[in-house]
Chain A
Amino acid sequence: MGYINAIIILAGINIVAGLGVSILTGYTGLFSIGHAGFMALGAYMWAIMLTNFHLPFGLALLVGGLFAGLCSFIVGYPAFRSRLRGDYFAIATLGFSEAIRLVLNNTYEVVGGAFGFMGLPSITSVPVVVLSVVLALFFAHMFVTSQFGKNCIAISQDEVAAEMMGVNLLRTKLTALFISAFYAGVAGGLLGGYMAYLSPSFFTYTRSSDLLAAVVFGGIQSLIGPVITAFVLVAVPELLRVFSEWRLIIYGLLFVIVMVFRPQGLLGYVEMNFHFLRGWWNKLRRRKPAAAVDGGGI
């Protein structure tokens, strides 16, 4: 049972971080291969808040998330200001996250350097993770269907047109990045609460690329797609431990297949994203104009 729990917890953490990447990459069109860095920032801030300031678990998670979000401006502001896009922005995030990992690796005061941040409580349980996932999904849905989220989608589809239509690119992108980093930071805190210690080696490039893989496989402009793949990408390698050395090869192969046959991802674009809710909503909306037309006819 403990093993299954472990998989559920790790998958849940991956889902929370994956939702963050989805908001940035799937909805705003900004590729990030540095979300492990934001996870690290959130995790270490969470640990400091918990051990040195004795904040309650949930509050410490929020502080960790906010800290990660604020730190994202360090990379976001100059990058968006100079209009880095696509691969260039991805590389900037990669450099940022590696820099954070190296700093943590070599800072022995407070955070324990390469030995890791020891003596954390083991408090991330299945209910905590499930609750976090539900909340994360709910708030992500609220964001992407809000006017903020729709501006993000517009930027991902045609940045120039969005700007010409009065969307403030810098502010909108920074908002998306902040929320995205916040999610990653909370996920980092959850990870620390499960592992009961933190080590910079948790937050390597591989973790970032796993998160990006979840979004690319799951589908852009979809929340449910990345949720499913973030779960699968943790669960399946665990269940197929025997093939563990083949994992990256299979990933690579899957990447190529998805890119060739379904570049928008398995559940890409809105149609699969809360489709049933949208369907009901549309039905409600359709009824009104139809009634108006009928009335006009009479």
Chain B
Amino acid sequence: MNAEILEVKDLSVSFGGVRAVDQVSFSLQPGELIGLIGPNGAGKTTVFNMITNSIKPTSGEIRFNGKSILGKTPDKICRLGISRTFQNIRLFPQMTAYENVELGLHNTPRYSILEAFVRTPRASRIEKETRKRALELLEMVNLKEYARERASNLPYGLQRRLEMARAMATSPQLLLLDEPAAGMNEDECRDLVKLIRQIHTSMHYTIIMIEHHMNVVMDLCRGSRIYVLNLGSLLAVGSPSEIQNNQQVIKAYLGERKNARADTRS
């Protein structure tokens, strides 16, 4: 039972003299969905970047399925089963929505280069299977009608959903969602919550989610935990209601309670 899918231990990184992430530890069981919140600049995205090794940690340990993934290249980590979305969307702008998703499926081509040149029946069959799977994934995030639309032409909210589909295409075990609801209005947030919950239950992914929309986090992490980062270190862990009533968290977000009250009154 206690086989953690991800175990982060004493993770730290410094940029020059700034300690961006300081001794952060947490762990996840398979199938969990946890939230990672904190004020701007708390180091949340940096934690993601270290898990996917686009930033090298100064010290600490990251274990995925019991094995250390420190020092592995990002593409290797992705193929091991950790996939992510980006805070500032990074789709392939000139490729269609469909091609974006497809890429995640064939990051390692499934046939040999010689088969590519002559397009053997096997290669065509694999192409067909890939196509089918890509369209299924697009359907899952309700983007099927935009399949042939260029990614850069999609509206912002749809681009975020497309990124999720692309991340799912790499068939991950662990999905890192970096602010999936950024820039969305209330309605869109509700749809997103539904979508993430559906992905979580139907695909059995383990999910870590960075999010600023409190409604979204509190809703999705019900029955699970939220980690709060502040100034690079872990400030609090707990269920949504515990976090909402945690004095330290409120202080980190709003400043001293007295001031906050004064603000709301005036």
Contact = CB atoms under 8 A, between A and B. Distances in A.
Contact of B92 (A143, A161, A270, A282): A161
B85 to A, nearest CB: 9
A160 B89 CA distance: 12
Contacts, number: 101
Q: Main SS of chain A's interface residues?
A: helix
B103 interface: yes
A160 B90 contact: yes
A161 B169 CA distance: 14
A147 B75 contact: no
Contact of A153 (B86, B95, B117, B148): B95
Interface of A: 139, 142-143, 146-151, 153-154, 157-158, 160-169, 175, 221, 269-270, 282, 289
Given A161-B86, A169-B75, A175-B113, A151 B148 contact: no
Contacts of A270: 94
A158 B92 contact: yes
B47 to A, nearest CB: 15
Interface residues of B, number: 42
A165 B170 contact: yes
A147 B92 contact: no
A168 B90 contact: no
Contacts of B94: 153, 157, 221, 269-270
A150 B103 contact: yes
A147 B52 contact: no
A168 B54 CA distance: 14
Residue of A150, A154, A164 with highest tally of chain B CB at under 10 A: A164
Interface string B70-99: 000111001100011010001111110001
Residue of B52, B74, B86 with highest tally of chain A CB at under 10 A: B74
Nearest to A178: B113
B119 interface: yes
20 contacts: A142-B118, A147-B110, A148-B113, A153-B92, A157-B95, A158-B90, A160-B90, A161-B90, A161-B91, A162-B103, A164-B52, A164-B54, A164-B84, A164-B90, A165-B75, A165-B107, A165-B166, A165-B167, A167-B107, A289-B135
